[in-house]
Amino acid sequence: MITLYYGLVLAASLVCTTIYMYMWHKHFDTNFTLIFTFVPVACIGYFFSSIAQNLGEALFAQRITYLGACFLQLFIVESIFNLCRIEIGKWVRTAMFLLITAVYAPVLNVGFGTSFYRSASFEIVNGRGILTREYGPAHTAIYIVYMLFFIIGMSAIFYTWIKKRQVSRNVLSLLVLPYVITVLFFFVIRKIISEIDLVPVGYVLAEIIYIIIAYRVNLYNVSDTVIDSMVRDREIGYLSVDFRRRFLGSNSTARKIIPELRDKIIDEVLGYKPAERKIRHFLDSFEKDEKDNTFAYTLHAESGNPDDDRIFNVNVGYLYDGGRKRGYIITFTDDTANRKYIRLLDTYNEKLQSEVDEKTAHIVEMHDNLIMSLAMMVESRDNSTGGHIKRTSEGVRILIEEILAENAMELDPEFCNDVIKAAPMHDLGKIAVDDAVLRKPGRFTDEEYKEMQKHAAEGARVIHEILLNTEDESFKAVAENVAHYHHERWDGSGYPEGIMGLDIPVEARIMAIADVYDALVSKRVYKEAFDFEKADRIIMEGMGTQFDPALEPVYVNARPKLEAYYKNQG
């Protein structure tokens, strides 16, 4: 009969745990899960004690029972602190864990030492095993710690009831019940009814109350419930990366918006496929100016009909781990309906829009001519690089043609056109270099060379200001990168940032080869032009140290066209 009782109590505890697991939500307090784990553990100990046939089995059951009972006190107190929104330091949590562990440790020694049970004997009476024991000081210590934790927990509930209005009174009332029940059954009921131990019944009742608390508590966690509701109802996609552009994860909505993410491996660095390049651009813009954190992303329809395209608002922010910034979170919110409504309004102004487009195209053309004129003006100040802009731009075009012909780096045509268009702007930063340095008829001193190195970062700044309000965000990013990083080296020894490898934007890596090749085969005030063989040897020796080794076959295939072009320039 006793075994049946403990078996039913164990079954009831497992049913409660099963219900909790069915209800489980990612925002549930971890201590809830531990409570629903350790209650069945304690009940298993009681069940084993009822079927024990000798002293060893009975003591083993006691170890299991006290394992559940001891650590339940810790998890209940910590759940109270969390539900009452009372912050406690890590050292406090650690101290409580160590205290519980310390009082439980003697339990493991029952049958071998006398600190917990001074003595213990076992006999079977009327078919039922009876464990008789004399308690030691360690057992008294458990009682003291139980009461200490009870006082701490009840004090936290009382304090919250008085001081905090943003904590549900219903939850606080429910919190009192499981604590009072477990303590009442442990210290009082078991003394009154000695024939059968009702403590596990108290545990099951506590489980039932915690199920009610778990059902209610997430409704009060406004930030979590609102975020979940918004993500579900508005189909918000999100992905995260760390500060080194390593992919950390995404939700299913983001993977629908950006199919490339389906094959993306966690911790893999974002590459240069079209969608990943756009994500890089969003991050680059946000890093330069945290206010520049909103963008647009178009998901083109498989039908090819622009009317079926979906347009998303993109927002970039920091990814926090507690109070620490660990990376970036990028969210995508469907804005297609608003955009289509705007398009509908635009149909009433087609004529006006046509005129605006015509004028805009003219402005863009003037804008491009102004930039090119500015680049030519900068070049005219430098008496050592006449024709450099024209030649390097052609060199970039030749390299890009080979990349597209061989599909060497999975670069889309739009990006390649942006690189060719941006090439003439790579030395715009020289506008800020002093004439005495820029026009010096000879090699630079160390100080002069440092002055000249400033042109890379300055070029990026100038381009950023010139293209500040452009709608072509992709071109803006490419142009800035070409100017900023075309003197970086694959091994990290370049300037101005000293970045290395794949951290160097691909457009800058392409520009670097064209820039150095022109410097080698062209006459400068400090050197004669190198022949093609020597220039080629220097370029090839630089693969893997100065240049991206992945561009080596591209350069090798482009070399005949480069030589032919430069021969015609001679």
pLDDT digits 0-9 by tens, 141-170: 988 998 899 899 889 989 988 888 767 778
Query: What contacts 24+ positions apart, CB below 8 Å, involve 228-233?
Result: 228/27
Q: Which residue has the higher pLDDT, 430 or 386?
A: 430
pLDDT band at 366 (very low <50, low <70, confident <90, very high): low
State how far the Cα of 71 lies from the Cα of 119, in Å rounded to an integer. 25
According to DSSP, the residues that pair with 239 across neighbouring strands are 250, 330
Q: Which two tokens stand for residue 94?
A: 């650690």
Tell which residue, 337, 329, 272, has the closest CA to residue 310: 337
User: What is the average per-residue pLDDT within 71-76?
Assistant: 90
Q: Which residue has the higher pLDDT, 370 or 558?
A: 558
According to DSSP, the residues that pair with 472 across neighbouring strands are none
Count of Cβ atoms closer than 10 Å to residue 49 Cβ: 22
- Structural domains in the chain, CATH included, are 2-222 (1.20.1070), 234-334 (3.30.450.20), 350-569 (1.10.3210.10)
State how far the Cα of 69 lies from the Cα of 58, in Å rounded to an integer. 16
Q: Is the peptide bond before 441 cis (omega within 30 degrees of 0)?
A: no
pLDDT, position 226: 40
Looking at every residue in the chain, the average pLDDT score rounds to: 83
User: What is the average per-residue pLDDT within 411-415?
Assistant: 88
User: What is the average per-residue pLDDT within 467-487?
Assistant: 86
State how far the Cα of 6 lies from the Cα of 431, in Å rounded to an integer. 87
Q: Which two tokens stand for residue 298?
A: 């178009």
Q: Which two tokens stand for residue 66?
A: 């006290």
Rg (CA), the chain: 36
State how far the Cα of 49 lies from the Cα of 37, in Å rounded to an integer. 19
pLDDT, position 217: 67
Q: Which residue has the higher pLDDT, 271 or 221?
A: 271
- Residue tagged 């963008």 (tokens): 295
Q: Please report which helix (H) or strand (E) contains residue 202, including its range.
A: helix 199-220
State how far the Cα of 11 lies from the Cα of 14, in Å rounded to an integer. 5
What is the chain's length?
570
pLDDT above 50 (res 227): no
- Residue tagged 């003439």 (tokens): 424
| Alpha-carbon torsion, ordered 254, 257, 259, 260, to 10 deg | -70
> Which string of DSSP letters, residue by residue, matches 330-360?
EEEEE-HHHHHHHHHHHGGGHHHHHHHHHHH
State how far the Cα of 1 lies from the Cα of 425, in Å rounded to an integer. 90
